[in-house]
C-alpha cells in the first residue's frame, strides 16, 4: 500500500512559462505533501513563473489539503512563481470558508482559460517592469 502511494504521481505539465497541475484523484495527506514538493522542485527546474492547479473534479477538500494549497502559494511566491487555483466547486468553497480557511494570499480563477489569462496579464506586467 505504501509503495503504491509513492508510485502514484500527479503529472505536472509545463506549457511556456506555466506549470499546469490537474488533480484528478482524491487527495490524501501523503499525496498532498508529495505534490507540494514535486511542484516546488519543478518550479526550480523549469524556472516557471506561474502554477495553475485545477481542482475542478475535487468534490471535497479537507483542512489539510486547504492548508497545503495556501502554503504552497506562499512557498511558490518566495520562489517567484504565482499560484492560481482553478475551477473550485461551490461546495468546496463553502466548506473551506466554514473551516475558516479563506486562503488570503491565493489567487483563484473560475476556469483554466481565465486562470491562464490572469497569469499572462501578470507576466506582461512583470515583463514591463
Partner 1 sequence: MSEKIVFEKAKERIEHIEDVLSSVAAGDLDVRIEAEIEDDLTGVEEAINILIEDLTYELKQSKKMREELEEKLSKIEDQQKTIIRQQDDLLELSSPVSKVWDNILILPVIGTLDSQRAQIMMENLLQKIVDTGCTMSILDITGVPTVDTQVANHLLKTVTSARLLGADCIISGISPAIAQTIVHLGIDLSVIKTKATLQDAMIYAMRKNNQLTHGKIKSDHLSETEETE
Contacting residues toward partner 1, per CB under 8 A: 85-90, 92-94, 96-98, 102-103, 107-111, 114-115, 117, 121, 124
Q: 88 — phi, psi (to 5°)?
A: -70, 140
The count of residues in the chain is 129
Say if CB 30 and CB 4 are below 8 A apart.
no
Q: Which residue, 44 or 102, has its beta carbon nearer to partner 1? A: 102
Q: Which residue, 39 or 70, has its beta carbon nearer to partner 1? A: 70
**Min dist. Cβ of residue 57 to partner 1 (A):** 13
Q: Which residue, 48 or 103, has its beta carbon nearer to partner 1? A: 103
Q: How far is CA 87 from the centre of its chain?
A: 11
Amino acid at each position: 500500500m505504501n509503495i503504491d502511494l509513492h508510485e502514484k504521481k500527479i503529472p505536472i505539465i509545463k506549457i511556456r512559462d506555466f506549470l499546469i497541475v490537474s488533480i484528478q484523484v482524491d487527495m490524501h495527506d501523503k499525496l498532498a505533501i508529495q505534490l507540494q514538493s514535486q511542484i516546488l522542485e519543478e518550479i526550480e527546474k523549469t524556472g516557471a513563473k506561474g502554477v495553475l492547479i485545477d481542482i475542478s473534479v475535487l468534490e471535497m477538500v479537507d483542512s489539510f489539503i486547504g492548508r497545503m494549497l495556501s502554503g504552497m502559494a506562499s512557498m511558490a511566491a518566495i520562489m517567484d512563481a504565482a499560484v492560481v487555483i482553478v475551477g473550485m466547486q461551490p461546495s468546496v468553497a463553502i466548506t473551506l470558508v466554514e473551516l475558516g480557511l479563506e486562503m488570503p494570499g491565493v489567487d483563484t480563477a473560475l476556469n483554466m482559460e481565465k486562470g491562464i489569462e490572469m497569469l499572462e496579464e501578470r507576466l506582461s506586467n512583470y515583463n514591463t517592469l
